[in-house]
Structure 1
Amino acid sequence: MSSTASPHPAPADYGWRTPLVVILAGCLIAMVGFGIRSVFGLFLEPMTVAHGWDRSTFGLAMAIQNLLWGVGVPIAGMIADRYGPSRVLAAGAVVYAVGVWGFAHAGTAFELHLFGGVLTGLGVAFTAFSLAMAAMAKVVGPERRSLALGLGTASGSFGQVVFSPLGQAFIHQFGWEPALGYLALSALLVIPLAFVLPNVQAPKGETMQNQSLMQALREASGHRGYVLLTVGFFVCGFHVAFITVHFPAYVTDLGLDPAVGATALALVGFFNIAGSFGSGMFGQRFSKKTGLAWIYFLRSVAIVGLLLAPKTDLTIYLFAGAMGLLWLSTVPLTTGIVAQVFGVRYMATLFGVVFLSHQLGSFLGVWLGGYLYDTVGSYDGVWWAGVALGLVAAGIHVAIDEKPLARLTPATA
């Protein structure tokens, strides 16, 4: 065996940092961090028009951002699993703010890719909701863990509900450059919230495993279900990033008002609150892999419906609502499988590796959207690729083994 268990459960007393306080702080971190990131698509058109850039230039910056987000999350997770999440999140908030501020003042494509891509991507990674959710998962028992993960994910969606109309209002009232400045200041709100989270290694309700980080990574990499989960999450990133960045411009290209695109993003966030929380409830009682398979299948159905239906405001809003229910509802189930199979001791790291695959999909979705639009003048090829990938992901998740490892059975029985 690669690890041994201590004879006693981990202590559950975290002082004034009660589970309720930790969950509240974690939800606010998720709301701010993800909310800011979710509205960058609103800046595609005004920034490209102002600077004379094509959409592939902006799309490459967002693709780099998604890639650095993905690369950074496992690193941030390793540091947080070793030393606790507070300093990681606080440092990430500073980098996030600097990146978004530089994004606003970028005058060349290089500066756009450096600030809007590299620095903002690293800032998003080191303030990732997965770090907050790992802290939340450690202070609740297994019987409430899936619900807590769903609540954390729903909070990120609520951030999208808040920041989508807020970002559009800032652009309309002050212009796109000051609007990004206000978003940069908002990122600093993560700093005080970060120090509410406890620097806890021992999870509640689970026997402490004397397992090193490298042992945990080797164990996971040799698990077929973990590999399939990682491959499948690539598709989630492809869908979410493409829609987040390119959907407002797609709506405008249809001849609809730009406000329709902003409203659609807000609807995605609004319905994702219900979808994420409902996903957490589903995962608490039923098979998580089955839930994931249905989510990816229904995403493909929703995209086909968008492509075949008349392009009206109502069609856009119905699509946004449907995708909202399916948006980040993958996250509670995906993180839930990681925690269920391997435990939560190294959850931030193990989910970080899975999330890297998500961001590779994000990179491809964002970049391919801009490239194909500039090449053929249409996003249709990316939409149909999303349909095919969704069907493939549905099949992949059916084959996942989600049973807890034998070393966790005494703790989870």
Structure 2
Amino acid sequence: MSIFRFPLLVWMGIAVLIVSLGIRQSFGIFMLPISDTFGGGRELFSLAIALQNLLFGAFQPFVGMAADRFGARRIIGLGAVAYAAGLALTAVTSDANMLYLSLGVLVGLGLSCTSYVIILGAVAKAVPAEHTAKAFGLTTAAGSFGMFAVIPGAQSLLNQFDWQTAFWVFAAACALMIAFSAFIRTASSDNSADQAEPEQSLKQALQEAFAHKGYWLIHAGFFVCGFHVMFIATHLPSYLADKGMPGSAAALALAYVGIFNIFGSYFWGLMGDRFDKRHVMAVLYLLRALVIAAFVVLPVNEHTATAFGAAIGFVWLGTVPLTSGLVRQIFGARYLSTLYGLVFFTHQLGSFLGAWVGGRVFDATGSYEPIWWATVVLATAAALLHLPINAKPVPRLQPQPA
């Protein structure tokens, strides 16, 4: 299936992700100005972002269940409202503790309703199984395009105005997600493969997944992914500033993460359709380990920062189409939003630790290097964890003998 023949639902889901994840990935460039406004060191902002990511994941299984039952359109609309409210409240508050409610709870809820789990769950019901990883890769790439498009604009707003103005602009942009969600209708879009799946209740689906050892290995690998991406997205700008780099260097590096992940996510999705997803995932994590190790060892300047952004971007979110594709391959599409939502919660536990521990370690030691080396070790472990996964469809989905 050509990407140009994907249903309208896929393209509207992509548009939602561009806005939602583009805003989210820009938060790192606001660490220093927001920390200066409220005081309290970098741990205040780091903890607010960590809480956001923890709740992003904690809400996800329940939001996924709601999307499986009521459809993605309503969930995305409600999430966009919560997202906008959190951004606006952050812009007007003068109480540092309010950041935990606004930037933490409300934005975390908004993200859980407007990001990969809900969109991919809808896409899985609209695209044939043999093209799932490719469709997931294209959809994942959209979030990276948002990162590439939004971060330079956010840096420009920050240079010309202040961070509060940038947050008001972000809040207004959330209205676009409501408009796009109107075209995401999944009630009658299930493909023939899903129609053929044996009837199963949500309770039975959860019992089946929890009894599958590979499902827990998928959780463990995605935990590492969360630790990586949120540590880098939150702390890379500050790390480069500590090395004497201007803010534009950090914005450019993160923009390169975004643009190269556009190609990387689609590439890894294609590889997941063509080769064993477990082996593709192992290669991806080993490449991450090499890229991060090289960045820590080499001198830090604008050229190496840009090269790191491009290299890590290529392996940034290629885990999403592969991980969600594995869940769909093993358990089917019917409860993908729920089962992948639970895996994504584990991802966000890793994100919580990546964002918070990065700030905690820096405030305690004055250096990010211990965390950088921890990410190398974790990437290597994640590569090994995917090899023993049994990726065959569960017996319920296998052809029955005549």
What is the TM-score with the length of structure 1 in the denominator? 0.93
Instruction: Give the distance between the partners of 1:188 and 1:349, measured in 2 at CA.
Output: 26
Aligned pair 1:214/2:189, yes or no?
Answer: no
Shift of 1:209: 2.8
The yes-or-no answer on 1:265 pairing with 2:254 is: yes
Pairing partner for 2:103 from 91, 116, 135: 116
Among residues 224, 245, 251, which one is paired with 1:256 in the alignment?
Answer: 245
Classify the secondary structure of the residue corresponding to 2:398.
helix
Cα distance between partner residues in 2 of 1:188 and 1:296: 36
User: 2:395 corresponds to which letter in structure 1?
Assistant: A
Aligned twin of 1:89? 76
> Residue 214 of structure 1: CA displacement?
1.1
Paired position in structure 2 for 1:405: 394
Partner of 2:265: 276
Matched with 1:343 is 332
**3-state DSSP of counterpart to 2:333:** coil
Worse-superposed segment, 141-150 or 60-69? 141-150
Following the alignment from structure 1 to structure 2, what is the Cα–Cα distance between the partners of residues 254 and 201?
54
> Which of 8, 25, 28 is the equivalent residue of 1:41?
28
1:356 Cα offset (Å):
0.4
Residues 142 and 205, structure 1, Cα contact 8 Å, conserved in 2: no
User: How many angstroms apart in 1 are the aligned matches of 2:87 and 2:197?
Assistant: 40
Q: 2:179 matched to which residue of 1?
A: 192
The structure 1 residue matched to 2:129, chosen from 131, 142, 155, is 142
Match of 1:28 among 15, 18, 21: 15
Paired with 1:59 and 1:114, the residues of 2 have a C-alpha distance of 14
Q: What CA distance in whole angstroms lies between the structure 2 residues aligned with 1:42 and 1:199?
A: 36
1:61 and 1:274 mapped to 2: Cα distance?
Answer: 31
Instruction: Give, in angstroms, the shift of residue 19 of structure 1.
Output: 4.3
Residue 33 of structure 2 aligns with an amino acid whose one-letter code is P
Relative to the length of structure 2, the TM-score reads: 0.96
Which residue of the partner structure matches residue 367 of structure 2?
A: 378
Question: Which moved further from structure 2: 58-67 or 203-212?
Answer: 203-212
Asked whether the 8 Å contact 1:140–1:205 carries over to 2, the reply is no
Describe the SS at the equivalent of 1:196: coil
SS of 1:410's equivalent in the other structure is: coil
Offset of residue 257 of structure 1: 1.0
Structure 2: distance between partners of 1:131 and 1:409: 26
What is the count of residue pairs matched by the alignment?
A: 394
Q: Partners in 2 of 1:201 and 1:328 — Cα distance?
A: 30
Q: Aligned equivalents of 2:237 and 2:324: distance in 1?
A: 29
Distance between the aligned counterparts of 1:179 and 1:249, measured in 2?
Answer: 19
TM-fit CA distance, 1:50? 2.2
When structure 1 is superposed on structure 2, of 191-200 and 342-351 the one drifting more is 191-200
Residues 158 and 273 in structure 1, CA contact (< 8 A), matched pair in contact too: yes
- Indicate the residue corresponding to 1:3 in structure 2: none
Contact map agreement 2:53 2:349 (CA 8 A) in 1: yes
Give the Å deviation of 1:201. Answer: 6.9
Work out the CA distance in 2 between the residues paired with 1:200 and 1:294. Answer: 37
Residue identity opposite 2:56 in structure 1:
W
Q: Residues of 1 paired with 2:117 and 2:139: CA distance? A: 9
d(CA) in 2 for partners of 1:198 and 1:19? Answer: 14
Q: Distance in 2 between matches of 1:30 and 1:237?
A: 18
RMSD of aligned alpha carbons: 1.3
Task: Tell me if structure 2 keeps the 8 A contact 1:138–1:200.
Answer: no
Q: Could you list the per-position Cα deviations for residues 317-372 of structure 1 after superposition, in whole angstroms to 9, with x for gaps in the alignment? A: 11111100000000000000011010111001100000000000000010001101
Determine the C-alpha separation between the residues in 2 that align with 1:399 and 1:30.
32
Match of 1:239 among 216, 228, 231: 228
Contact 2:197–2:397 (CA under 8 A) maintained in structure 1: no
SS in 1 for 2:46: helix
- Give the aligned partner of residue 289 of structure 1: 278
Written as runs of structure 1 = structure 2, the 5 A alignment for 1:67-106 is 67-106=54-93
Counterpart secondary structure, 1:400: coil
Q: Deviations over 1:254-297 (max 9, x none)?
A: 00111000011100000000100001100111011111111111
State yes or no: 1:51 paired with 2:63: no
- Inter-partner Cα distance in structure 2 for 1:33 and 1:173: 23
1:11 is matched with: none
Tell me how far apart the structure 1 counterparts of residues 267 and 387 of structure 2 sit (CA, whole Å). 20
Structure 1 position 205 matched with structure 2 position 192: yes
Unaligned runs of 5+ residues in structure 1 are: 1-17
Percent identity of equivalent pairs: 43
The residue aligned with 2:292 is 303
Alpha-carbon contact 1:202-1:208 (below 8 Å) kept = no
Answer yes or no: is 1:65 the counterpart of 2:52. yes
Secondary structure in 1 matching 2:192: coil
Distance (whole Å) between structure 2 residues aligned to residue 209 and residue 187 of structure 1: 38
What is the identity, as a one-letter code, of the residue corresponding to 1:342? F
Letter in 2 for 1:213: L
Distance in 1 separating the partners of 2:262 and 2:25: 14
Per the alignment, residue 167 of structure 1 pairs with: 154
Residue from 346, 356, 361 that aligns with 1:367: 356
Counterpart position of 1:157: 144
Match of residue 112 from structure 2: 125
